């Protein structure tokens, strides 16, 4: 997401009670942040946080963490969170590369990747959040029966991911290249990008992967 830098965003993120500070200290103990043993699901690259906020409202028995690397973007999610009583939603301001240092093995039940940056050039393939290197990170933090759910309107990134995920030893359990007209659409919660791109007529792709 390309956004202008918002003055004061770093400070607002640093001060927000909804952003987990020095997350390494909770390694293996993230349940203490929520005060219960409910499963923890994370959205990586959540942007302004519409999806993860709505998911937290819809599924109060699941704990959600929204991870976003840019404070100027995360700020929008914090502002939404301030308007709602959602004890099952917290945020992390970090690069997804760091996730394996932050979470203990099997601490996470599900990972959502929504409209991840496509990085179209081959030489940038390693930066794609569905690259085999990133799948290794998810492999580390996800429970044995954990799943990855990925949505995008970018056909190149989607086709790449249909290959890269099995290359990393994972199975594609289900996929569609037109989510909104498929039977995978039940219970779909739209993201900000999903609303924007489907309004332009772009079909939305979705896959679900597990080991």
Q: Please give the positions annotated as active site.
A: 117
3 state DSSP class of 61: coil
Q: Which residues of 128-154 are buried (b: 16+ CB within 10 A; e: fewer)?
A: bbbbbebbebbbbbbeeebbbbbbbbb
**Contact, 198 vs 180, CB < 8 A?**
yes
Measured from the CB atom, is 5 or 171 closer to ligand SAH?
A: 5
Question: Which of 78, 191, 204, 205 touches ligand SAH (CB under 6 A)?
Answer: 191
Q: What residues between 7 and 66 interact with ligand SAH by CB under 6 A?
A: 44-47
Does 95 interact with ligand SAH (rule: CB under 6 A)?
yes
CB of 105 vs ligand SAH, minimal distance in Å:
20
**Span near ligand SAH by CB under 6 A; candidates 6-14, 29-37, 69-77, 160-168:** 69-77
Residue given tokens 């963490």 in the structure block: 65
Question: Which of 76, 90, 115, 138 touches ligand SAH (CB under 6 A)?
Answer: 115
> Cα–Cα distance between 188 and 58 in angstroms, integer?
11
Measured from the CB atom, is 1 or 33 closer to ligand SAH?
A: 1
What contacts 54, CB < 8 A, 6 or more positions away?
189
**Span near ligand SAH by CB under 6 A; candidates 8-16, 17-25, 77-85, 186-194:** 186-194
Measured from the CB atom, is 66 or 146 closer to ligand SAH?
A: 66
**Contact, 43 vs 114, CB < 8 A?**
yes
């Amino acid at each position: 997401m390309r956004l202008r830098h918002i003055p004061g965003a770093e400070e607002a993120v640093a001060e927000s009670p909804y952003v987990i500070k020095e997350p390494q200290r909770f390694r293996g103990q993230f349940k203490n942040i929520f005060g219960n043993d409910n499963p923890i699901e994370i959205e990586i690259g959540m942007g302004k946080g519409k999806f993860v906020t709505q998911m937290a409202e819809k599924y109060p028995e699941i704990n959600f963490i929204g991870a976003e690397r840019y404070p100027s973007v995360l700020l929008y999610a914090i502002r939404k969170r301030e308007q709602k009583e959602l004890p099952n939603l917290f945020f992390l301001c970090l690069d997804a590369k760091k996730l394996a240092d932050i979470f203990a093995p099997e601490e996470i039940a599900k990972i959502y990747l929504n409209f991840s940056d496509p990085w179209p050039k081959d030489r940038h393939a390693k930066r794609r959040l569905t690259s085999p290197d990133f799948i290794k990170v998810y492999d580390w933090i996800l429970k044995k029966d954990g799943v990855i759910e990925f949505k995008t309107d970018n056909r190149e990134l989607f086709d790449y991911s249909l290959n890269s995920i099995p290359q990393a030893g994972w199975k594609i359990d289900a996929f569609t290249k037109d989510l909104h007209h498929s039977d995978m659409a039940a219970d779909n919660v739209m993201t900000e990008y999903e609303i924007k791109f489907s309004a332009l007529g772009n079909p939305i792709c979705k896959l679900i992967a597990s080991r």
